[in-house]
Structure 1
């Protein structure tokens, strides 16, 4: 049998060397001849672009030309799978999914109706609450000003459409809350306790195959620097509730919870993409990269929930050199 050849594109590649390595290792296990293209706003300053087989420059993901530029890379290299890595690019790529399909490429992104929910933290909380998934009490700015007694103080504030830990704040009293913000905000109970990321994989048929939580032991720049996988039935149940609340969710997603000792675990947000801590899940046996390649290459699926509990990751700085 001839060896299968695939090309994939990792967008907003930046420092995602670990993700690139997971796909390379998956291709070796599957005996797939894999070509990895990476793109970024400044590919000459991206470690992942430097280690990819090919690299390309693209406009910012909020540019009207962004999806068109990604389509052109797909056309040039015969890409079969596009892997977005940051939240702001999910909607333009989801909207362009039919155009990618016409080129024979799958964009690893859920449908527009799912992205509309997960990119709006207020809407996410509402959708999950309606489905019985535990979430913190949440108010928008107007609700907070009108009903400050409906939430416990101090409160946690964040942009409704934010990502990468941007714009986070804590307010002790209503008098501390500004009268205006530069973007829509939500305000939540300030929960205490250990924080977890739960990675989940939903196959192409909509079946939730894997739920793998890891404790966020130490965070740097919004991503886990030290973490450890923990098998917990209550977090598995929460993930099942999210899958039911968002039945069109596909592929890889992750969500964050705080396990408050008084109130129990509550979901803070959902990222419908590979999270920054995914390499820990992959090393523990939840090999989402391999399972996506299997789907695209039409190979038998090996997706399972038999990952290893108690696997610890401790990241350190490394470097890529050029010239």
Structure 2
């Protein structure tokens, strides 16, 4: 197959490229910046996700390389790629992406949290800045530690933890942010594949730990036997079904102080840790064959 992967310069794109390096598939990588990767067959520059011409250029590359399978990995581009796929703008390529409505719910963290809560999926208490009357009101409603993060942002951009109402300035945040109770327990990054047929589900669990004396802010990741975190695996699958997601999904889950897991974020795409769960890509390739 001819496979086009977007964002090959990012962690998610690189993880997929490395897995495909040992296969016979032809891999075309695209990114908004020059990327030197030995394991791709072709590379092309594309505009940023917010460029109105991005989809047109992506469609032209799909035609030029006779692409069979398109795998987007850049969070910012997912809504427009899902829409283009729905409208048939990407020729005959199979696009590895969930339905547009599901993608849009995952794109906005507030919409994600609301949809999950309404479906009975465990999430931490949350609200918009406008839902609270003061910094003290935030901590009274959400607990002794809170986090703030943009509703629309990649990764940890704009993320902050606050532990004191005296130091937290509620007036500094507008409703482009979401406020959540901080989940202090163990952190996981479940990866899920949801197939088109009922019961076609694959789940892999990764635990994330921060080494106390590590010089980098990046967490240490390790695979976890699903049987040893069954509640996390079941929660991840329930969240994906609640949002009506398909294909590969990357989630963030943490345990609250009492030990029960809650969903923090849902990303409708492959994540940076997919090389620890090669069975997900295997399912995608099998479905596209």
Q: TM-score, normalised by structure 2?
A: 0.88
Query: Residues 100 and 107 of structure 1 are in contact (CA less than 8 Å); yes or no, is this contact kept in structure 2?
Result: no
Q: Classify the secondary structure of the residue corresponding to 2:205.
A: strand
Task: State the match for 2:287 in structure 1.
Answer: 295
Matched residue, 1:162: 153
CA drift at 1:170: 2.0
1:12 corresponds, among 4, 7, 16, to 7
**1:216–1:228 contact (8 Å) kept in structure 2:** no
- Structure 1 residues 138 and 103: CA distance shift in structure 2, 3 A: same
1:319 maps to none
Aligned alpha-carbon RMSD (Å): 2.3
Question: Which secondary structure state, in structure 2, belongs to the residue aligned with residue 216 of structure 1?
Answer: strand
Matched, 1:243 2:240: yes
Shift in alpha-carbon separation, 1:21–1:175, aligned structure 2, 3 A: closer
Q: CA deviation at 1:112?
A: 1.1
Q: Once the 2 structures are TM-superposed, how far is the Cα of residue 159 of structure 1 from its aligned partner?
A: 0.6
Alignment check: 8 A CA contact 2:3 2:71 kept: yes
**Aligned: 1:130 with 2:118:** yes
- Structure 2 unaligned runs (5+)? none
Partner of 1:88 in structure 2? 76
Task: Please name the residue that 1:152 is paired with.
Answer: 143
Cα deviation 1:78-102 (Å, max 9, x = unaligned): 0011111121010110010045576
How many residues matched? 278
Equivalent position of 1:117 in the other structure: 105
- Give the C-alpha shift of residue 144 in structure 1: 2.5
Q: Which runs of 5+ in 1 are unaligned?
A: 1-5, 28-32, 298-323
Which secondary structure does the structure 2 equivalent of 1:186 belong to?
Answer: strand
1:227 counterpart (222, 231, 245):
222
The answer to whether the 8 A contact 2:15-2:273 is kept is no
Question: CA 1:277/1:230 → structure 2, altered by over 3 Å: closer, same or farther?
Answer: same
Counterpart check, 1:264 vs 2:255: no
Match of 1:51 in 2: 39
Matches within 5 A, 1:68-79: 68-79=56-67
**1:199-224 alpha-carbon deviations (Å, 9 max, x no partner):** 00011335441111111134898865
The worse-fitting range, judged by mean Cα deviation, of 72-81 and 150-159 is 150-159
- Structure 1's 241 and 95: CA in aligned 2 closer, same or farther, altered over 3 A? same
2:32 corresponds in structure 1 to 41
Q: Specify the SS of the correspondent of 2:133.
A: helix
SS in 2 for 1:20: helix
Alignment partner, residue 248 of structure 2? 252
**Whole-Å Cα distance in 1 between the matches of residues 201 and 9 of structure 2?**
29
Distance verdict in 2 for CA 1:127–1:224, change over 3 Å: same
TM-score (norm 1): 0.79
Given that 2:236 and 2:263 are in contact with CA atoms closer than 8 Å, whether structure 1 keeps it comes out as: no
- Tell me the alpha carbon deviations over residues 20-43 of structure 1, each in whole angstroms, 9 at most, x when there is no partner: 121233x3xxxxx41100001112
CA deviations over 1:139-175 (Å, ceiling 9, x no partner):
1010133653322132111111122210011222166
- Higher RCO (Cα < 8 Å, 6 or more apart): 2
SS at match of 2:117: helix
What is the distance in 2 between the residues matched to 1:86 and 1:218? 25
Instruction: Using the TM superposition, give the Cα deviation of residue 119 of structure 1 relative to its aligned residue in structure 2, in angstroms.
Output: 0.8
Q: Distance in 1 between matches of 2:233 and 2:146?
A: 28
CA contact (8 A) 1:12 1:40 kept: yes
